[in-house]
Amino acid sequence: MSFPARMAQALEARRAAAGWRQRRLVTHNDTRTLEVEGKSYRHFSSNDYLGLSQHPAVIAGWRQGAPGAGASGHVTGYSRCHAELESQLADWLGYSRALLFISGFAANQAVVHLLAQKQDRLIADRLAHASLLDAASHTPAELRRFHHNNVDSLTQRLASSCSGETLVITEGIFSMDGDSAPLAAIAAATRRADGWLLVDDAHGIGVVGEQGRGSCWQQDVRPDLLVVTFGKAFGVSGAALLCDDATADYFLQFSRHLIYSTAMPPAQASALLAALGEIQRGDALRQRLQDNIQRFRTGAAGLPWSLMPSASAIQPLIVGENGAALALSQRLAQAGCWVSAIRPPTVPPGTARLRITLTAAHRPDDIDALLEALHDAAGE
């Protein structure tokens, strides 16, 4: 089948399954509200959990750096801002080293691609992020998946023999279900099997744990490899790998993602330094977020859709079929609330959902307006 025919067939199948993805032009976004095509909405699809993308200190930090690094960090792209950010992240999270990446996707790809060799095995949570599973499936190592957050399932897979190394892969808080991994039990099972543990804490860092240090700190776990991303609670973008000295040196020498990619702009690193300071002082923001989560969950009782048992900023409302999820999303938009419908293949078939995200920027009346719209839609 030719490329054009193959693409046409895939696109038609996507349309037929009510799975068509569409970008919308956003003309204003302050985390609390969103303007799309001239209409304003209360915004419930942002990962900016603490509202730091709008913080004056973060904006001022961005203005203090150059807009482009100009080269890879291995050439001339490694500035004082980059070095200071790496140092502060490592100190804050209790690691010897931190290495910056341009995105969380790139960091996850880099870690898995570089470490996994033919005789090794990768054992990943079934619901791990696409960046992790894609990377794992494109390595020569064996990929096995354990049932979501099921330590017994992980232990069974660890019990089989392996002639190489073992890397266990999970997340701190899962992006589509909003639930937390039992990291302490996963870490213990991994240690018993002499494996390494990789945790992607994109949705936990900044939000949970002392000073927002994340899921691992909250559960008193120190994984061998910790990836934190900056596009959520930090309100910017990018990512970092936290590890020991030898691992950092190995990545600096052999990671193609680091060697052959332009470094993040110094302005971005400067903004991230400001965001880190706000996160460390951000107990009031985290409390406001928790209050909003509780207000929503209390008010959502009695809705006909299944609200997943999430204590995080991610509150998934399972609708079921793709068309129904889209219809509910559109109904909420008519009521002035922007909530994206998430459909397969991002989530399993039959579990299309509204991925409601709450932030510290929301006010009580925003939460109440969303709840009113949901209850109205349920009544219809």
Q: Would you list which residues are annotated within the binding site?
A: 21, 104-105, 129, 175, 203, 229, 346
Return binding residues for substrate: 21, 129, 346
Spacing of C-alpha 146 from chain mean position: 20
Beta strand residue intervals within 203-347, DSSP E:
225-229, 239-243, 306-307, 314-320, 337-338, 341-342
129 is catalytic: yes
**Catalytic-role residue among 46, 47, 180, 292:** 47
**Catalytic-role residue among 79, 103, 149, 175:** 175
47 is catalytic: yes
**Catalytic-role residue among 43, 55, 129, 362:** 129
Query: Which residue type, as a one-letter code, is found at position 368?
Result: D
Whether 125 and 145 have beta carbons less than 8 Å apart is answered as yes
Return binding residues for pyridoxal 5'-phosphate: 104-105, 175, 203, 229
**Catalytic-role residue among 55, 82, 203, 362:** 203
**Catalytic-role residue among 48, 171, 278, 366:** 171
**Catalytic-role residue among 200, 201, 224, 366:** 200
CA–CA distance, 184 with 368 (Å, rounded to integer): 36
CA–CA distance, 159 with 194 (Å, rounded to integer): 11
CA–CA distance, 125 with 116 (Å, rounded to integer): 17
Interstrand relation of 352-357 and 341-342 (parallel, antiparallel or unpaired): antiparallel
Which residue in 256, 313, 246 sits closest to 95, CA to CA? 246
175 is catalytic: yes
Whether 257 and 70 have beta carbons less than 8 Å apart is answered as no
**Catalytic-role residue among 43, 55, 82, 232:** 232
- Which residues are identified as catalytic? 47, 129, 171, 175, 200, 203, 232
